[in-house]
Structure 1
Amino acid sequence: MAESAASLGQFDFAGDDHVVPFQVDGLDVRGRAVQLGPMLDAILERHHYPAPVARLLAEAIVLTVLLGTSLKFDGKFMVQTKGDGPVDLLVADFSTPENVRAYARFNEEALAKAIAAGETEPEQLLGKGVLAFTIDQGQYSQPYQGIVELDGTSLEEIAGVYFRQSEQIPTRVRLGAAELFDRDEAGKPRHRWRAGGLIAQFLPQASERMRQPDLHGGDGDPGVHDHADDDAWAEARSLVETIDADELTDPLVGTERLLFRLFHERGVRAFPPQAVFDRCSCSRDKIKGVLKGFSAEEIEASEEDGEVAVTCEFCSTTYRFDPSELKTEA
């Protein structure tokens, strides 16, 4: 069955935690947009991350959701950073059709120094390293991994560089995260995390229109590039760059209203939204299977108070085992 589209306003707002695919025929642009609310807040609050870490992981989750929901097969999509900054590891993965999990690792002492010095921009927290995109279609396929350097810029800029270098698709990504302070139904103060993002890609029928100016070649590059962007893509990119950070996260704006603000003069169409959920793929059986691969000496070394306990880094669920459960038959 062909996927149906609707003009904005023909169906209710998708709301939080729903990815909205869209298309702008007048500019040959397709993309996806999302605002994350309760799902994101559950992931971040579970770990009690310091605010700069939570904000950074929130952006990684948005990026993962925007890209993962484009998969046309059963599998996983993962975004992972490894760097030498105070936040040395971010991991966010999406399992089709709708499950998301994520966690961050950071050096408490280095992070405290960075916060005290006011050095909490994404590039300052991540440092130098790599950003990896991994697509895993399961046990019968080799995972595909694309890697781009963490070069001292934001996650959204690095993602754009990846698509330009690896996919040869003109792409603009916008990401944002914010803390929301308000009151609940009983009037008590509460704190919540929100995040949002948009990815727009230029996909004309004539592939030669996708040609982009060469990347700068470094210190010895005179910077003379005689090829300009296609007019349609230049317009689309400029429109996406007008998005304020608040618009990406403001629940009063919403995903569809943001798309209308950006592209209404060019006839934007929105497709039915796709929900995403905070769901980890760990289980007692999976953890037990891993532990049964350990030697008797390793199991004994892991014992504490007569049991072996393993806590999932993603969802913080702790699984407890009697050592006798983990013995393998000779």
Structure 2
Amino acid sequence: MSEAGVQTVAPAGDDAALPFEVAALDVRGRAIQMGPVLNTILAGHAYPDSVSKLLGEALVLAVLLGSSLKFDGKFILQTDTDGPVDMLVVDYRTDGGMRGYARFDAEKVAAAEAEGRTEPGALLGKGVLAMTIDQGPEMSRYQGIVPLDGGTLEDAGHTYFRQSEQIPTRIRLAVAEFQSRETGELVRTWRAGGLIVQFLPKAPERIRADLPGGDAPEGMEVEAGAEDDAWVEAQSLVGTIEDHELTDPAVPAERLLFRLFHERGVRVFSPIQVVDRCSCSREKVEGLLESFSAEEIAESIEDGGIAVTCEFCGRKYAFDPDQFSGGS
């Protein structure tokens, strides 16, 4: 949209990250609503509702962060925690392909749901969130790690940008289940949405007041500096967003951005499409098995064959052990 609210690019629709800029506030960001892609990824697993919602948040966060990459590569988001959901993994590739899965203890998740403890902090517990940028085999990986200490993925995202990137950032994530009737049957679908807003003024001294100045001696409190007025306003506007606005198909990303920033003028750019695309293949699995020792091949045999299931998409691959050197 231009400052007058006139649409300048095709609507993003579902499953497309929409970059935007509010020049008057020196902020940039991306917004997204996820629908069919989210459903496809979650449908590949029999996740409890609370786990589906948590993985949905991780998928949205990975798109918001990964869609900013300007090179061919991959953004990987992974948690390692001690809670009922001890691992979330999301791969986002710069061609728009993504995949994700959750590892969880079914009994612990059921107990948490029965007690109403389904907030992200209770499901994840304590541990770390690792965010990795992979630029390909010829380049070094960059990884940022932040603690997860009973907080949300939004909280972890804020910590990452404050400590690692030194960019004032606000993130919003929401996931909701929708129900409808089609030909007399109840149909359940998942939708998710998210927004990232970052303060990027040309003058670097305008950023510093919102960022930590370094480690202070134990017991000493560091007085926070005054925040820039433009960033205060941007944060206030983002703070008005309600969860249902992020997931409601009647409030697409363009409309939400207009609601937030129309008085300041918001410009949107070409959307970045997201698709469900697992990178597994029979050739890759076969190559992995060929690297196994004879003992590892023997341990992999069940009922006379080797069966491998992709944890991300659920695709199954069957092999004859005799085709591998370790199995002959």
Q: 1:172 aligns with which of 167, 170, 173?
A: 170
Q: Is the 8 A contact 1:15 1:254 kept in 2?
A: yes
Number of the residue aligned with 1:202: 199
Superposed, which structure 2 residues align to 1:186-197 within 5 Å? 186-197=183-194
- Code of the residue aligned with 2:291 in structure 1: it is G
Count of residues in correspondence between the two structures: 325
- Code of the residue aligned with 1:207 in structure 2: it is P
1:259 is paired with a residue whose SS is helix
CA distance in 1, matches of 2:217, 2:227: 21
Q: Is the 8 A contact 2:12 2:253 kept in 1?
A: yes
Residue-by-residue CA offset, 1:165-199 (whole Å, 9 max, x unaligned): 11000000000000001123x34320001100000
CA distance in 2, matches of 1:318, 1:199: 36
Q: CA deviation at 1:272?
A: 1.1
Q: Is the 8 A contact 1:66 1:198 kept in 2?
A: yes
Residue-by-residue CA offset, 1:35-79 (whole Å, 9 max, x unaligned): 000000111111021000000000000000111111111111011
Q: Does 1:290 align with 2:303?
A: no
Q: CA deviation at 1:129?
A: 0.3
- Code of the residue aligned with 2:223 in structure 1: it is V
Residue-by-residue CA offset, 1:239-275 (whole Å, 9 max, x unaligned): 1111000000000001100000000011100001111
- Code of the residue aligned with 1:224 in structure 2: it is E
CA distance in 1, matches of 2:34, 2:276: 11
Residue-by-residue CA offset, 1:198-222 (whole Å, 9 max, x unaligned): 0000011101111134659698344
CA distance in 2, matches of 1:212, 1:132: 26
Number of the residue aligned with 1:270: 268
Q: CA RMSD in A?
A: 2.0
Number of the residue aligned with 2:300: 302
Number of the residue aligned with 2:219: 220
Residue-by-residue CA offset, 1:254-311 (whole Å, 9 max, x unaligned): 1100000000011100001111000000000100111101111211221112211110
Number of the residue aligned with 1:248: 246
Q: Does 1:37 align with 2:35?
A: yes
- Code of the residue aligned with 2:185 in structure 1: it is K
- Code of the residue aligned with 2:262 in structure 1: it is H
Consecutive aligned runs of 4 or more in structure 1 exceeding 6 Å deviation: 216-219
Question: Closer, same or farther in 2 for the Cα pair 1:144/1:57, shift >3 Å?
Answer: same
Number of the residue aligned with 1:124: 122
Number of the residue aligned with 1:66: 64
Question: TM-score under structure 2 normalisation?
Answer: 0.94
Q: Is the 8 A contact 2:19 2:269 kept in 1?
A: yes
2:262 is paired with a residue whose SS is helix
Q: Is the 8 A contact 2:10 2:270 kept in 1?
A: no
Question: Closer, same or farther in 2 for the Cα pair 1:287/1:315, shift >3 Å?
Answer: same
Number of the residue aligned with 1:48: 46
Question: Closer, same or farther in 2 for the Cα pair 1:71/1:8, shift >3 Å?
Answer: farther
Number of the residue aligned with 2:85: 87
Question: TM-score under structure 1 normalisation?
Answer: 0.94
Unaligned runs of 5+ in 2: none
1:47 is paired with a residue whose SS is coil
CA distance in 2, matches of 1:316, 1:326: 23
Q: Is the 8 A contact 1:170 1:212 kept in 2?
A: no
Range 205-214 or range 51-60, more displaced:
205-214
1:265 is paired with a residue whose SS is coil
CA distance in 1, matches of 2:199, 2:176: 28
